[in-house]
Amino acid sequence: MAQGWLQIGIFVAVLVALTKPVGVYMARVFTNQRVFLTPLLGPIERLTYKVLRVRPEHEGQDWKAYARSLIVFSLLFWVALYLVLRTQGIQPFNPQGFHSGPWDLSFNTSSSFVTNTNWQYYGGETTLTYFAQMAGLAVQNFVSAAVGIAVVVALIRGLVARSGREIGNFWGDLIRTLLYVLLPVSIVGALFLVSQGVIQNLGHYAAIHTLAGGTQTLAGGPVASQEVIKELGTNGGGFFNVNSAMPFENPSGLTNFVELLLILVIPAGLTYTYGRMVGSQRQGWAIFSAMFVLFVGGVIVVYMAEQHGTPAQHLAGLHTHAFDGSTGGNMEGKEQRFGIADSSLWTAVTTVTSCGAVNAAFESLTGLGGAVPFVNLSFSEVVFGGVGAGLYTMLLYVLLAVFIGGLMVGRTPEYLGKKIQAREIKLVSLGVLFTPLVVLLSSGVASATTLGKRSLSAGVNPQGFSETLYAYLSQANNNGSAWAGYTGFVQPHTPGNVGSYGISFADLLGGFVLIGARFAPILFVLAVAGALASKKVSPAGLGTMRTDNPTFVFLLVGVVVLVGALTFFPAILLGPVVQSLTTRLF
């Protein structure tokens, strides 16, 4: 395992090293300062504003105006995506002749991509045209990521505003994020991925005669351009059904390393951006540290659990120890080129962030290894989290921790010189509790009714319960990874949606969960930003509780773990914990 720990160690070190430069760059972008790309992109930015008829520098929005622009924009894009999916049969770039998707599945998929989730009931290469992948899904990979980042930038502005109402301009934040952050990295990253073997073409699938005399059809598609933003925007929707396990998406240990970095670089960098924008780097590092502790803990648990193997394998007489030339461990649903270490690292990375891309089959994880994704999601994606979404949710927990800390020492809670009062705490509580509530209600309904059972593949047992709970945990937290046996789509005759239909209950419940658990917290966050923006900053005194030291980091981790554990522990017990405690089969 030493080599595996080395890989994980290097990854973590590179991530920490990138946090500052990326964070500084983004801080400059969000505060309208010059960056090295300004000479090239400045004219394009101004042209875009002209086309959109907005003047971000002169039109500050209060939280309500900001929220209105965001909601209207997202709603229209939802409609656009739904139309693309429902009419793909008549669109160009459809060499395979795929038909349009069913209404309920398309509802779920549209909701999934507009909310930065990329939960996938559909199978990419068997149901979607290249046009739908490019002009439908990949566009949302950019846009939904930019929306998340815009929200956290607005919240930060609210925190630092010296009394006022304005928290920025949505259109400015959106366009600057797309133009200066997401698009340049995507262009460079996509070309790098192609150079390593990720495919990028628009051709017909290639039927070949194999060496042993059989036949095989090699899928095609504009994969690299979508792969890069899928990771960078913590979206996670694979071009292929098996996502980043497919060699055409992720061909080597090197692409795997780069893709992992792409997933975490913005969420980690944003903590530094935060420190810079609030004028105290220590505040940013405090949040980074809390996230880091929870992240590393998860990696260690998955890796050790997966290296152990599963009860089914041991009972079949398989020896799962490592020896010269073999990784050992639970290789079911894993790829040789990633082995146990990289699959485990990926599993932790993709579930602490709300990415949800996978390079191994989650449903085939060991009981304990599989518990880690559950636990990561039950922390409401605050451990780095989705781009923007992770930090803004974490900031709600920060405010909660400040409030609890204030109660413990008996002082009015203050954060960055701003008093945290009843209105803020009400909004924070709503923001923190909304998503868990949605998860418990929806997975409860799906488990208890016969309608929900139609989606199960493992049957009515702990594995089946894991499938259901994870489905709604993942959709509500806008993650998108899955215990993939759970389905909302039946495709009897591949390919191309011929004779296929959605499972309406799972599609609709999931779709509403996706939308609710994305946009309700965003509204609460923007409301908090608005409430804080108008508060005066009082200078820190002797009695001010510090929020940039290890004590506060400890408190913050404690609050995150407590809220997550108290909400989800009983449910997680019934699924992965049962499986990790027994060697019985069912």
Partner 1 sequence: MKRDLLTSLIAVAVLTLVLGIAYPLAITGIAQVVFPGKANGSKLTLHGKTVGSILIGQDFKGVPAYFQSRPSATGYAADATFFGNVGPNSVEGREEVRENLAAYLKLNKPYDRSLTRAQVPVDAVTNSASGVDPQISEANARIQAHRVAVVRGLPLRKVEELISAHTDGRALGVFGEPGVNVLELNIALDELGPTGRKSDISTRFRPVGGLGGGGDEG
Q: Which of 234, 359, 455, 567 binds partner 1 (CB under 8 A)?
A: 359
Residues binding partner 1: number (CB under 8 A): 130
Give the separation between CA 221 and CA 93, rounded to whole angstroms. Answer: 10
Residue with tokens 């630092």: 160
> According to CB under 8 A, which residues from 78 to 117 bind partner 1?
80
For residue 220, the 8-state DSSP code is -
Q: Which of 21, 97, 164, 203 binds partner 1 (CB under 8 A)?
A: 203
Buried b (16+ CB within 10 A) or exposed e, 316-344: eeeebeeeeeebbbbbbbbbeebbbbbbb
Give the separation between CA 233 and CA 137, rounded to whole angstroms. Answer: 12
Q: Which of 32, 163, 326, 449 binds partner 1 (CB under 8 A)?
A: 326
C-beta closer to partner 1: residue 28 or 337: 337
Residue 186 touching partner 1 (CB under 8 A): yes
C-beta closer to partner 1: residue 172 or 436: 172
CA neighbor of 100 nearest in space, from 76, 132, 77, 78 = 132
Residue 232 touching partner 1 (CB under 8 A): no
Residue 233 touching partner 1 (CB under 8 A): no
Binding mask 129-158 for partner 1 (x = CB under 8 A): -----xxx-xx--xx---------------
C-beta closer to partner 1: residue 243 or 443: 243
CA neighbor of 466 nearest in space, from 377, 349, 567, 551 = 377
Q: Which stretch binds partner 1 (CB under 8 A): 179-187, 296-304, 525-533, 534-542?
A: 179-187
In the structure encoding, which two tokens stand for residue 2, read together?
Answer: 């030493």
For residue 488, the 8-state DSSP code is S
Closest contact distance (angstroms) between CB of 539 and partner 1 is: 39
Closest contact distance (angstroms) between CB of 559 and partner 1 is: 32
* Structural contact between residues 143 and 118, judged by C-beta atoms closer than 8 angstroms: no
C-beta closer to partner 1: residue 87 or 281: 87
Residue 264 touching partner 1 (CB under 8 A): no
Residues 6+ apart with CB under 8 A from 531: 63, 158, 423, 424, 427
Give the separation between CA 584 and CA 105, rounded to whole angstroms. Answer: 36
Residues 6+ apart with CB under 8 A from 11: 257, 260, 261, 345
Q: Which of 89, 253, 417, 444 binds partner 1 (CB under 8 A)?
A: 253
Q: Which of 336, 409, 422, 539 binds partner 1 (CB under 8 A)?
A: 336
Give the separation between CA 171 and CA 59, rounded to whole angstroms. Answer: 10
Residue 224 touching partner 1 (CB under 8 A): yes
Binding mask 157-176 for partner 1 (x = CB under 8 A): --------------x--x--
Beta bridge partners of 414: 419
Closest contact distance (angstroms) between CB of 73 and partner 1 is: 4
> According to CB under 8 A, which residues from 8 to 67 bind partner 1?
10, 48, 51-54
How is 246-300 classified by DSSP, letter by letter? Answer: STTT--SHHHHHHHHHHHHHHHHHHHHHHHHHTT-HHHHHHHHHHHHHHHHHHHH
> According to CB under 8 A, which residues from 360 to 379 bind partner 1?
360-361, 363-367, 370
Say what angle helices 63-86 and 504-533 make with each other, to 10 degrees: 160
In the structure encoding, which two tokens stand for residue 519, read together?
Answer: 């946009």
Residue 194 touching partner 1 (CB under 8 A): yes
Q: Please name the helix (run of DSSP H) or strand (run of DSSP E) that holds residue 502, with its range, or none.
A: strand 501-502
> According to CB under 8 A, which residues from 429 to 488 bind partner 1?
457-458, 462-463, 483-485
Q: Which stretch binds partner 1 (CB under 8 A): 108-116, 185-193, 400-408, 499-507?
A: 185-193
Residue 492 touching partner 1 (CB under 8 A): no
Closest contact distance (angstroms) between CB of 208 and partner 1 is: 5
Give the separation between CA 468 and CA 518, rounded to whole angstroms. Answer: 20
Closest contact distance (angstroms) between CB of 51 and partner 1 is: 6
C-beta closer to partner 1: residue 226 or 271: 226
Residue 200 touching partner 1 (CB under 8 A): yes
CA neighbor of 200 nearest in space, from 225, 218, 183 = 225
CA neighbor of 446 nearest in space, from 462, 465, 461 = 465
CA neighbor of 193 nearest in space, from 139, 112, 259 = 259
Give the separation between CA 586 and CA 574, rounded to whole angstroms. Answer: 14
Cβ-based neighbour number of residue 302 at 10 Å: 27
Q: Which of 218, 408, 460, 573 binds partner 1 (CB under 8 A)?
A: 218
Q: Which of 104, 125, 166, 381 binds partner 1 (CB under 8 A)?
A: 125
Binding mask 514-553 for partner 1 (x = CB under 8 A): ----------------------------------------
Closest contact distance (angstroms) between CB of 456 and partner 1 is: 11
Q: Which stretch binds partner 1 (CB under 8 A): 187-195, 446-454, 501-509, 558-566?
A: 187-195
Residue 336's Cβ-side half-sphere holds a number of Cα atoms within 13 Å equal to 2
Closest contact distance (angstroms) between CB of 10 and partner 1 is: 6
Closest contact distance (angstroms) between CB of 20 and partner 1 is: 23
> According to CB under 8 A, which residues from 410 to 429 bind partner 1?
none
Closest contact distance (angstroms) between CB of 327 and partner 1 is: 6
C-beta closer to partner 1: residue 218 or 407: 218
Q: Which of 147, 245, 372, 400 binds partner 1 (CB under 8 A)?
A: 245
Q: Please name the helix (run of DSSP H) or strand (run of DSSP E) that holds residue 232, with its range, or none.
A: helix 223-232
Give the separation between CA 381 and CA 390, rounded to whole angstroms. Answer: 6
Closest contact distance (angstroms) between CB of 70 and partner 1 is: 9
Residues 6+ apart with CB under 8 A from 250: 198, 227, 244, 256, 259, 359
In the chain, the amino acid numbered 542 is: L
Q: Which stretch binds partner 1 (CB under 8 A): 241-249, 390-398, 498-506, 563-571?
A: 241-249
